[in-house]
Amino acid sequence: MIVFPNAKINLGLNVTAKRNDGFHNIETVFYPVNLCDILEIVKSQNAASMLFNSGIIINDDTNNNLCIKALSLMKKDFPIPEVDIFLHKNIPFGAGLGGGSADAANVLTVLNEMFNLNISDEKLLQYAAELGSDCAFFIKNKPQLASGRGEVLTDINVDLSGYYLVLIKPDLFVATAYAYANIKPQQPEIKVSEIIAKPVEEWKYFLKNDFENVIFEKFPQIKMIKETLYSRGAIYASMSGSGSSVYGIFNNAVDTSDFEKDYFVFTERFTNGKSVKF
């Protein structure tokens, strides 16, 4: 079975408090974008399940991969046979795009369908929350207001249909642990949910990503990309998550050929709350 796990961007991101469990409470809107990995799961002829990686190569112990962790989590509760997972990575990591979480969430949903496990969405959300703070978002995979660690999700009415997205990822890796270790949590003056209800053209005055000050100081190049997107006519621009990717929302399609010489670039046009490549 083949699926196409997609990335997300953050529309605003407030880090509001540090929790007793060592995590942080956040407030953000997760919004799906059409930059996708390719994930295939088949029954294996091997004695153990295996992960095969192509595209962007993951240089890490396979046992640390979220796809394998998702499989192991499911195998604890269900008699799932050995499978081979083929993962072609297009979504860059260290980018704030949730690619690993998207892959893991799709492993959960594919296994549920392949082996007729009849697991409810609520239970899938619980499994996903065990794997990662933003993993649960990809079970529903529609615009959601996220709170708690990012696993508490509420439907929100935000639709970017008709706007164009330019997403830029420099050749920089931002460790999420570094970003959180250097942030000072604070309560926002205006909640993300209130700002999102305003016209997109007004977001640049109110909608903030708390990580930007920390990350821009360490990586001025990321700040420069955001400033360049605004100079090109973006009506809103922001870093996604804890970086290093930056996106701009535009009223019209944008020529990105000069960016493509130095950066990973993805463009799309949103339609009906989703997105299509342009």
Contact 126, 112 (CB under 8 A): no
What are the residue boundaries of the structural domains of the chain, listed by start?
A: 2-155, 164-277
CATH entry 3.30.750.24 includes domain 2-155: no
Per-residue pLDDT, 62: 84
Residues 5 and 102: beta-carbon distance below 8 Å: yes
Please compute, for residue 209, the number of CA atoms within 13 A of its CA located in the half-sphere on the CB side.
Answer: 28
pLDDT value of position 52: 96
Instruction: Look up 37 and say whether it is catalytic.
Output: no
* CB-neighbour burial class of residue 201 (10 A; exposed 0-12, middle 13-18, buried 19+): exposed
Catalytic one of 134, 208, 210, 274: 134
User: Could you tell me which CATH class the domain 164-277 is placed in?
Assistant: alpha beta
Is 77 designated active site?
Answer: no
The confidence score (pLDDT) of residue 133 equals 87
Mean pLDDT by 10 residues, the chain (278 residues): 97 94 92 97 93 93 91 96 97 94 97 97 95 93 94 94 97 90 92 96 97 96 97 98 96 94 95 50
